[in-house]
């Protein structure tokens, strides 16, 4: 082979950099949000869980109209009745927004199509908070309808005794519950474990802290700095003082932010199977 032939052959070789295919563009975050939102509705359990927001609101409002003292019912009465089932349903939605990837074995597909796990989790978190706010607006509308129906039945003017600030506090209380469920979902990545963890935190711990406060004066004076429920539940029916807002911030950091960060680290470092 002549020197000229060797030169022509080497010139025909394409450099490695030129042969490298350009990286595909990242999936738009708006599309990731839309897909994750659709995934929350496209299973039978997910659909009925979302539908339970409306169903529970209607049932609570109907029972309030039928069984309550109609002469003393106000908008606050319906808000309290609707708020109870919402405080149970919404955190479960926060849990399942995360754990469904592992319980339905779709995590490998999800994180293969969108390799950036933080973007997927951010989309899930955004959808969770949006559903919480929208669910409370639906509950507010159903409660308002119940208030108007009661007014039409009794002939008494409807009492609209919930201010925008009070409603914002109720929304905040439920959003904190959803964030707690979301954090536990990241931490456990197992639906039953995360749901049980939430109900232990929300229903069992208040009884334990009350018992501890009755026997330990120090806990009675300072327990609100460690128990999320003591200050979060105040958001439903009262105006918080400056100290109570500080206690809410501290307990939220302890019970929500810390598990959220730990769970996020575990998800980012875990092997997806």
Q: What is the pLDDT of residues 74-116, one digit of tens each?
A: 888 888 888 778 888 889 999 999 998 888 888 888 888 888 8
The token duo for 49 is: 């869980």
Does a structural domain hold residue 58?
yes
Q: Of 6-10, 58-62, 257-261, which gets the smallest average pLDDT? A: 6-10
Q: What values do phi and psi take at 107, rounded to 5? A: -65, -40
- Number of structural domains in the chain: 1
DSSP-assigned states of every residue in 146-202 = HHHHHHHHH-PPP-----HHHHHHHHHHHHHHHHHHHHHHHHH--HHHHHHHHHIII
Does a structural domain hold residue 9?
no
Convert the pLDDT of each residue in 215-230 to its tens digit: 889 888 888 899 888 8
Task: State the alpha helices, DSSP H only, in the chain.
Answer: 3-12, 16-19, 29-39, 44-67, 75-103, 107-113, 117-154, 164-188, 191-199, 205-215, 217-222, 228-232, 242-252, 258-269
Does a structural domain hold residue 73?
yes
Does a structural domain hold residue 38?
yes
Average pLDDT (247-270) is 93
Average pLDDT (116-139) is 92
pLDDT at 255 over 80: yes
Q: Which residue has the higher pLDDT, 65 or 256?
A: 256
Convert the pLDDT of each residue in 15-43 to its tens digit: 555 556 666 677 889 999 999 999 888 87
The token duo for 89 is: 């349903």
pLDDT at 6 over 50: no
Supply the DSSP symbol for 23.
P
Q: What is the mean pLDDT of the chain?
A: 85
Does a structural domain hold residue 15?
no
- What is the pLDDT at residue 152? 85
Does a structural domain hold residue 21?
no
Does a structural domain hold residue 55?
yes
Residue 130 CB neighbour total at 10 angstroms: 12
Average pLDDT (176-202) is 93
Q: Which residue has the higher pLDDT, 160 or 8?
A: 160
Convert the pLDDT of each residue in 139-152 to its tens digit: 888 888 888 888 88
- What is the pLDDT at residue 4? 53
pLDDT at 14 over 90: no
pLDDT at 179 over 90: yes
Supply the DSSP symbol for 253.
I
The token duo for 82 is: 């609707």
Does a structural domain hold residue 200?
yes
**Residue 78: domain span:** 29-266
Classify 28 as helix, strand or coil. coil
């Amino acid at each position: 082979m002549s020197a000229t032939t060797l030169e022509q052959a080497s010139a025909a070789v394409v450099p490695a950099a030129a042969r490298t295919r350009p990286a595909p563009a990242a999936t738009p975050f708006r599309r990731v949000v839309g897909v994750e939102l659709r995934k929350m509705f496209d299973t039978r359990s997910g659909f009925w869980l979302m539908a339970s927001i409306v169903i529970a609101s209607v049932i609570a409002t109907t029972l309030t109209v039928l069984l309550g003292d109609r002469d003393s019912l106000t908008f606050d009465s319906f808000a309290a009745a609707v708020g109870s089932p919402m405080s149970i349903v919404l955190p479960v939605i926060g849990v399942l927004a995360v754990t469904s990837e592992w319980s339905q074995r779709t995590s490998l597909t999800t994180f293969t199509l969108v390799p950036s796990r933080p973007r997927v989790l951010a989309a899930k978190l955004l959808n969770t908070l949006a559903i919480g706010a929208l669910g409370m607006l639906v509950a507010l509308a159903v409660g308002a309808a119940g208030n108007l129906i009661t007014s039409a039945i009794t002939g008494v003017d409807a009492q609209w005794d919930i201010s925008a600030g009070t409603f914002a506090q109720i929304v905040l209380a439920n959003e904190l519950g959803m964030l707690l469920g979301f954090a536990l979902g990241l931490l456990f990545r197992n639906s039953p474990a995360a749901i049980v963890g939430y109900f232990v935190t929300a229903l069992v711990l208040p009884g334990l802290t009350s018992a501890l406060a009755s026997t330990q004066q120090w806990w009675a004076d300072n327990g609100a700095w460690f128990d999320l429920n003591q200050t979060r539940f105040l958001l439903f029916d009262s105006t918080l003082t400056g100290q109570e807002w500080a206690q809410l911030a501290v307990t939220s950091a302890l019970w929500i932010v810390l598990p959220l960060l730990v769970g996020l680290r575990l998800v980012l470092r875990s092997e997806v199977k």
